A and B are shown apart, each in its own frame.
Chain A
Amino acid sequence: MEKEKKSEPVSKSVLKSAKEEETTRINVGPSPHFGHIHSTTRLMMTDVLIALVPVILVSLYVFQWFAVKQLMICILTCIGTEAACTRMRNRQSTLYDGSAVVTALILGLSLPATAPWYVAMIGSVVAIGIGKMVFGGLGMNLFNPAMVGRAFVMIAFAGVMSASGYELASTGVDALSQATPLNIFKQTGAITPIYDMFWGVTNGSIGETSAFACLLGGFYLVWRGVAAWEIPLGVIIAVIFWGTIGTIINPESQWTVLHHLFSGSLLFGAFFIATDPVTSPLSAKGRFQFGIGVGIILMLLRSFSGYPEGMMFAVLLMNALSPLINRWTIPKPFGVKTSRIL
């Protein structure tokens, strides 16, 4: 009898700590430990939301009601799906950690403004339901949920999600009447002025147009320590490297390295999508390799595939590789001669 009594509080505390583990994120890394440590998912997601503010503001300015509609549908559907899934699994509600809203915003910002309502809705259901909850919720997913949702609608509704689907004449919104910079370049070779791409008054997925807003939000994320700086750095280095080779091979081309950097969803993806801490590698070295990989696949797709842009596929492919990168880059404890793989 006494033994049972004694063992009870222990098992309870174990259960309690297991429960806490679901909601807290512990930053594991070699010493020295300083800098910001974001101990809860909620704080981290709040920072991401703050970082997304400039991006959202630009999207509201450029696409007006189209952006409002897209983002609202995504947020409502994602929250609904998350609530339904947690209920089905008889788990505590995870709505308050804010991850569903972040997924919704990133998915919404990566959709074309012209996409019909069902695209945003189905994308959100797939992102939360199949991208995240099927694997066991936040922290368990292999692939970036927002990109899973986007890939699903991209393949399901190829017509409205393809490059030509971005254009919509005869609306009050100027940006929508033109093709996206990358598509114009791919089809006709014409160059969009770099100034337009920097400030974001071009067509594109609603969150990706403004390089300035993405950089602003991205630097905030890096400064707060929410996003690992190695990933965007890796992506940008890979793109600059590839772009420079392109310029050397074809010096007459007006499409310079800067055009490569500021066009498409490169900066948005590098700072907001690829840096998802769940699906990117753990160590600094691994993150840098991950970033380089994303950049190379992105440029491969831009240069040789039928798609004008390849951020989504680049991130998804590298997500699949991140367990492998983790295995390659197990940090070596101080004083150990050879790292042992367990």
Chain B
Amino acid sequence: MAEQPTTTERFIQGILPENPVYRQLLGLCPTLAVTANLQSALTMAGAVCFVMFCANVVISLIRNLLKPHLRIVVFTLTIATFVTIADRFLAAYLYGMSKMLGPYIPLIIVNCIIICRCEVCASKQSPITAAGDALGQSIGFGIALFSIAFVRELLGTGTLFGFQVMPETWPGWGIMVLPPGAFLTFGILLAGVNRITMYQDARKKHRGL
């Protein structure tokens, strides 16, 4: 079996080189749905971070007990437990935000980023590596949500975190707050990220030669 990446490698990989949204194109449903403003995007990122961290650690602890044909069920049940905790926590302490995010918090259960991390890392490596992996991936997810929500909120309403940053006369681009704005912003940012990666690869090749 090939050598598994170390904790540090896992952590760094998650942030940019294997960014869950921009490089793996996973978890796009919440990415597109909750990025109309920065507050909901960061709440979502926080919730995913909590669930991913806990699920990864727990799965890693019980990884030797997993039966191959039942592993996905165990993953889902573990994730569902922590999602319920996160959901109830938000409903208790951030009621407005919980209402705004609506079904997207319960939907973290089927968020493919988390299942992917359980499958790829937690079910094979130690709890510490799994924890580092979860943190890296969550930061990557957070960065992606932040970047999309930043553009959408800035253009859509001229605000950031609800504070007016653009001049008063800024005409809100209504479309940016609506679903089409999410697709357009994501597409353009993704193109930008691909462009940067291509440029970096070309430079690496050039150096290698």
Contacts and interface: CB of A to CB of B under 8 A. Distances in A.
Contacts of B184: 130
A152 B180 CA distance: 9
Interface of B: 171, 173-176, 178, 180, 184, 187
A24 to B, nearest CB: 29
A155 B171 contact: no
A51 to B, nearest CB: 31
A122 B175 CA distance: 12
B171 A157 contact: yes
Nearest to A153: B175
Interface string A134-177: 10000000000000000010011111100000000000000000
Contacts of B180: 155
A159 B173 CA distance: 10
17 contacts: A116-B171, A118-B171, A122-B173, A130-B184, A134-B187, A152-B175, A155-B174, A155-B178, A155-B180, A156-B173, A156-B176, A157-B171, A157-B173, A157-B174, A158-B174, A159-B171, A160-B171
Contacts of A116: 171
A100 B183 CA distance: 25
Contact of B175 (A156, A159, A160): A156
A155 B176 CA distance: 9
Of B173, B176, B178, B180, most buried by chain A (CB within 10 Å of CB) is B173
A255 to B, nearest CB: 31
A295 B203 CA distance: 54
Q: Which 4 A-B pairs have the closest CB atoms?
A: A156-B175, A156-B173, A155-B175, A156-B174
Given A152-B175, A156-B176, A157-B173, 12 more contacts: A116-B171, A118-B171, A122-B173, A134-B187, A155-B174, A155-B175, A155-B178, A156-B174, A156-B175, A157-B171, A159-B171, A160-B171
B30 to A, nearest CB: 23
B208 to A, nearest CB: 23
A159 B184 CA distance: 21
B74 to A, nearest CB: 43
B163 to A, nearest CB: 22
A155 B155 CA distance: 13
A122 B171 CA distance: 12
A1 to B, nearest CB: 26
Contacts of A152: 175
A155 B173 CA distance: 8
Contacts of B187: 134
Contacts of A122: 173
